[in-house]
A and B are shown apart, each in its own frame.
Chain A
Amino acid sequence: MSAVVVENIIKTYGKKKEVTALNNISFEVKPGELYGIIGPDGAGKTSLFRILTTLLLADSGKATVDGFDVVKDYKEIRKRVGYMPGKFSLYPDLSVEENLNFFATIFNTTVHGNYDLIKDIYQQIEPFKNRRAGKLSGGMKQKLALSCALIHRPSVLFLDEPTTGVDAVSRKEFWEMLKRLKEQGITILVSTPYMDEAGLCDKVALIQTGKILSINTPHGIVDDFKKPLWAVKSANMLHLLNQLKEKEEVEDIYPFGEYHHLILKSQLSKESLEQWIRNSTTENVQLQMVRPDIEDCFISLMKNY
């Protein structure tokens, strides 16, 4: 049985349903999978998570979590899932320890009973257990929220943008925590606007303005990028970009870290490409073929080439 099944979910907002947040979304998450919903703000990630955690009703379509229907069996689902919203939602006036005890009690369990699951994470904030949750730093709030979402040992964990606004070091640490949780057999659905986090998931759905662009393993998504991708670099990158952008043969060119990534409409050998570049720009260009990453794939799916 799949941990999460989503079938043709549509969600609109507004009196005249003028805003479509989710436009016929379907996917499936297997038990124990670390599943990434990757997309920018406004893609529909939060609406999707709220539907699956039974906090919002879809206009149409069907979804189950742990085999239970999100509409009919909402009470059962609420017992079984952990949910960490994007916005900090613990009690700011309760201490770290009080928040954790509160959530354990609500779910008819004790902190002691499931301590092994959260130990790794909670120990990092335990020195501050008497501090009010509202007075914690961003990183510590995040660790407390995760501990509270886990304290009843959920079978499926929903994490809505846990790493947004978090620096590169803390992001890496957070993903290491997720990997260890996955080893405990918990199914994890995590959403993120950071494309580079896709590679850390077992499977990902790329989502944009309510539509799924692609579902695959991170490797599979990259393998689907069929056109050769070239990285180009010169002394004046802006100049290089502007000159090549105008050329008929260019499908797309965009900045990518220290290089520009270049995609041509038709395939050229490296030699003929070098020749073409010499004729196309006054810049002295370094050129190499590179493997696309998820962000290249996302751009190509968005622009549909």
Chain B
Amino acid sequence: MSNDKVITAEQLTKRFGHFTAVDHISFDVHKGEIFGFLGANGAGKTTAMRMLCGLSMPTSGKATVAGFDVYKETEKIKRNIGYMSQKFSLYDDLTVKENMKFYGGIYGMSDKFIKEKTGYILNHLHLESEGDKLVKSLPLGWKQKLAFSVAIFHEPGIVFLDEPTGGVDPVTRREFWNMIYQASDNGITIFVTTHYMDEAEYCNRVSIMVDGRIDALDTPAQLKKTYEAKSMDEVFLKLARKATRIEI
């Protein structure tokens, strides 16, 4: 594996009985890249992501994440990635600092590291005065930004973001993407799913899943050229409408 590739997938497939949820997908993601992983509901995104996070065993094909094998080294994968979704992020009944201590502890970080990192994040997000407040008392926008910081607390090489900005206001949504850009600038690879097509434009490359396959993978600019579309929204509609599989 070349050092630049932090995710590799080759003919990766997952079947549930007779149903092929993920159908021979192949792609590479490079270090520091912002990789958009798009697809309609039921196209197989979640199943593919679960395999890459070491949570689901593939039926066939090969894949590595951070250099580790998705069949044999799932525990090493889990240690070396971060994960955040809109649905699951921080614990509402813990304070901001407690959440960081908890996640840092889970990943085996030292007390010293946790303390320094917590100070750094609170300072960076201008949340020093909120450190001892319960997470549930924070506005949603802050929570999401905090959740992202916690997802990369243990300094993973890759972070998986599953619809991180759903329901967030347009200003906070952009602040959130600013954090993504910064993380990618620091060499963290970003693997992100979204239903906002304008966010697809912010990715370096975008893949679009249809019926379990990756039907398109390129830069946003090239995808628009290939599909003779004015926007990523149009590209997505052209591809997703080809789906024949009934969502069941």
Show the binding face of A for B, using Cβ within 8 Å. Answer: 39-43, 128, 137-140, 164-172, 193-195, 208-209, 238, 254-258, 295, 298-299, 302-303
Contacts and interface: CB of A to CB of B under 8 A. Distances in A.
Nearest to B202: A255
Contacts of A257: 197-198, 201, 231-232
Interface residues of B, number: 37
Given A167-B40, A169-B237, A258 B170 contact: no
Nearest to A192: B167
Contacts of B140: 40-42
Contacts of B166: 164-165, 193
Contacts of B42: 137, 139
Interface stretch (B114-122, B125-133, B152-160, B240-248): B240-248
Nearest to A19: B137
A171 B163 CA distance: 16
A170 B185 CA distance: 34
Contacts of A169: 40, 236-237, 240-241, 243
B41 A258 contact: no
A258 B221 contact: yes
Given A138-B247, A208-B169, A209-B139, 14 more contacts: A40-B167, A41-B167, A43-B169, A137-B42, A139-B42, A169-B40, A169-B241, A170-B41, A172-B237, A193-B168, A194-B196, A195-B170, A257-B231, A257-B232
A168 B195 contact: yes
Most chain A CB within 10 A, of B42, B141, B167, B231, is at B167
Given A41-B140, A172-B237, A164 B167 contact: yes
Contacts of A299: 170-171
Most chain A CB within 10 A, of B172, B174, B185, is at B174
Given A42-B140, A137-B248, A298 B170 contact: yes
A40 B41 contact: no
Interface of B: 39-42, 139-141, 163, 166-172, 174, 177, 181, 185, 195-198, 201-202, 220-221, 231-233, 236-237, 240-241, 243, 247-248
Most chain A CB within 10 A, of B172, B185, B195, B241, is at B195
Nearest to A140: B247
B40 A170 contact: yes
Most chain B CB within 10 A, of A41, A139, A194, A256, is at A41
A138 B198 contact: no
A258 B220 contact: yes
A162 to B, nearest CB: 13
A143 to B, nearest CB: 11
Q: 7 tightest A-B contacts by CB?
A: A40-B169, A41-B167, A257-B198, A167-B40, A137-B247, A193-B167, A257-B201
Contacts of A170: 40-41
Contact of A256 (B139, B171, B198, B243): B198
A303 B169 CA distance: 12
A165 B247 contact: no
Contacts of B163: 165
A238 B221 CA distance: 16
A274 B100 CA distance: 47
A286 to B, nearest CB: 12
Nearest to A297: B170
Given A255-B177, A258-B221, A167 B41 contact: yes
A231 to B, nearest CB: 12
A33 to B, nearest CB: 25
B174 A255 contact: yes
A258 B163 CA distance: 19
B247 A139 contact: yes
Nearest to A193: B167
6 contacts: A41-B167, A137-B248, A165-B163, A168-B197, A238-B181, A302-B171
Contacts of B185: 238
Contacts of B168: 40-41, 193
Contacts of B241: 169
Nearest to A135: B248
Contacts of A208: 169
Contacts of A166: 41, 195
A40 B142 CA distance: 13
Nearest to A39: B169
Contacts of A165: 41, 163, 166, 195
Given A138-B41, A166-B41, A42 B195 contact: no
Contacts of B233: 168
A165 B166 CA distance: 7
A256 B232 CA distance: 12
Given A139-B41, A168-B233, A303-B171, A258 B201 contact: yes
A168 B169 contact: no
Contacts of A43: 169
A302 B171 CA distance: 8
Contacts of B243: 169
Nearest to A209: B139
A42 B139 contact: yes
